[in-house]
């Protein structure tokens, strides 16, 4: 490896970075097929930027990081200056209130993340062969930017467990939260998955699916060129309704879906409920190499269990049919447990410039990790799967 110095640069636009350089770090495996993580690809992040979903007025100001050696980009990171804590799904509002209550200024802060996307993936994107040195350079560079600009903090959310462990060794604080994921245990079809459940849960799931599919219409799955403009028009209506109720203002602009269709439609699964020729509900998923990522749901008509069918059961069925290992159905939601989605740990990393505040957060995170570990154990025990004979007698 060269002894040349590593140059760190922050860029206000992805247009300043060669797409091939970014994707060589973000998804080198995509030269042989679908990327593992669609959300850190150049085209997804560029769609967010070009559509105005991030940038001026959004509270997400791009400061994409690159680490370069001898003219070669060896690592990148999706870094943003944040003016609020919205669209992150790893909540730090209490930290902000405490810091500001003590006379500090919490915002702006730095965030290494995929905006509005609570999906686990690499956040320190390194070219193969530069994993250790690349992550180290990105961490040091981001911390230096935060310190030089007297910013309160740096956060890397929904990173991988391996990154979390490595980051903790570099002095960052490791936070653990939990989500609900479905795991494919080699099921031949949806009925095989049902057979793995307890009798009561299996009956309940069949009842919910029957109710959902009796809404008076049909459910269709669309990918690639099957998705037409009118489908996005319908889904935009659904998304606006959900966004206004959950967040006050939808995070994504209408143009995001236009750009996503242009550059990512083969990585999208759009499931729509059609009644009397009109879409009345829909769920948007992104397809990774091994994982189906459920992202958004909305409706204009409310029908019993239709949400469960479109978001959870159809996602499981699609994953089984296409040999995917996991379905990530987004943030929160203990109601997912009864539908085959079990709790798993998610990880984030944090740096604070103020030593006293850092120590206070560190103590909080130690207690929180223990609580999350216990909660995962308890929730898993209440899962819908059949118990083995040994487990039943314990």
User: Which pLDDT band, with edges at 50, 70 and 90, does 279 fall under?
Assistant: very high
User: Which pLDDT band, with edges at 50, 70 and 90, does 4 fall under?
Assistant: confident
Q: Can you tell me the mean pLDDT for 172-189?
A: 97
- pLDDT of 394 reads 35
Q: Which residue has the higher pLDDT, 365 or 246?
A: 365
Q: pLDDT at residue 342 above 60? A: yes
Q: Can you tell me the mean pLDDT for 347-375?
A: 97
- pLDDT of 363 reads 98
Arithmetic mean of pLDDT over the chain: 94
The residues near 173 (Cβ < 8 Å, ≥ 6 apart) are 349, 350, 351, 352, 358, 361, 362, 365
For 29-38, 217-226, 240-249, 293-302, which range has the lowest pLDDT when averaged over its residues? Answer: 240-249
Q: pLDDT at residue 15 above 60? A: yes
Considering only CA atoms, which of 191, 204, 210, 177 is closest in space to residue 337? 204
pTM exceeds 0.85, yes or no: yes
Q: Can you tell me the mean pLDDT for 86-102?
A: 95
- pLDDT of 392 reads 37
Q: 106-138, pLDDT tens digit by residue?
A: 999 999 999 999 999 999 999 999 999 999 999
- State CA 182 to chain mean position distance: 15
Q: pLDDT at residue 247 above 70? A: no
Residue 79 neighbours by CB distance under 10 Å: 24
User: Which pLDDT band, with edges at 50, 70 and 90, does 353 fall under?
Assistant: very high
Q: pLDDT at residue 10 above 90? A: yes
End-to-end CA distance of the chain: 55
Q: Can you tell me the mean pLDDT for 141-163?
A: 98
- pLDDT of 389 reads 35
Considering only CA atoms, which of 186, 178, 210, 193 is closest in space to residue 339? 193
């Amino acid at each position: 490896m060269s002894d040349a110095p590593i140059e760190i640069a922050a860029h206000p636009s992805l247009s300043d970075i060669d797409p091939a350089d970014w994707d060589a770090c973000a998804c080198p495996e995509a030269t042989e097929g679908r990327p593992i993580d669609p959300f850190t690809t150049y085209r997804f992040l560029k769609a967010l930027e070009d559509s105005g979903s991030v940038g001026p007025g959004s509270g997400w100001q791009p400061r994409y990081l690159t680490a370069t050696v001898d003219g070669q980009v060896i690592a990148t990171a999706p870094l943003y200056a944040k003016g609020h804590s919205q669209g992150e799904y790893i909540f730090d509002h209490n930290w902000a209130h405490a810091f500001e209550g003590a006379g500090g200024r919490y915002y702006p802060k730095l965030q290494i993340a995929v905006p509005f996307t609570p999906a686990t993936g690499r956040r320190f994107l390194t070219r193969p062969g530069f994993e250790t040195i690349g992550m180290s350079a990105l961490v040091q560079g981001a911390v230096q930017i935060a310190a030089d600009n007297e910013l309160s903090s740096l956060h890397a959310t929904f990173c991988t467990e391996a990154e979390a462990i490595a980051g903790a060794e570099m002095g960052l604080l490791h936070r653990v939260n939990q989500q609900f994921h479905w795991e494919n245990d080699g099921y031949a079809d949806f009925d095989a998955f049902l057979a793995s459940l307890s009798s009561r849960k299996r009956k309940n799931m069949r009842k919910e699916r029957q109710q959902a599919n009796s809404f008076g219409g049909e459910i269709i799955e669309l990918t690639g060129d099957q998705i037409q403009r009118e489908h996005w028009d319908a889904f935009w209506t659904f998304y606006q309704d959900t966004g206004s109720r959950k967040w006050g203002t939808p995070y994504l602009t209408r143009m995001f879906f236009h750009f996503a269709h242009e550059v990512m439609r083969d990585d999208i699964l759009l499931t729509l409920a059609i009644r009397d020729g009109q879409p009345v509900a829909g769920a948007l998923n992104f397809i990774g190499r091994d994982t189906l990522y459920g992202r958004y749901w909305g409706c204009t008509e409310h029908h019993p269990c239709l949400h469960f069918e479109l978001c959870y059961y159809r996602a499981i069925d699609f994953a089984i049919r296409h040999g995917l290992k996991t379905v990530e159905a987004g943030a929160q939601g203990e109601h997912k447990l009864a539908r085959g989605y079990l709790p798993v740990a998610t990880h984030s990393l944090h740096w604070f410039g103020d030593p006293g505040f850092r120590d206070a957060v560190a103590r909080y995170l130690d207690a929180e990790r223990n609580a999350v570990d216990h909660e995962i154990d308890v929730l898993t025990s209440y899962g819908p799967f059949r118990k083995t004979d040994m487990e039943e007698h314990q």
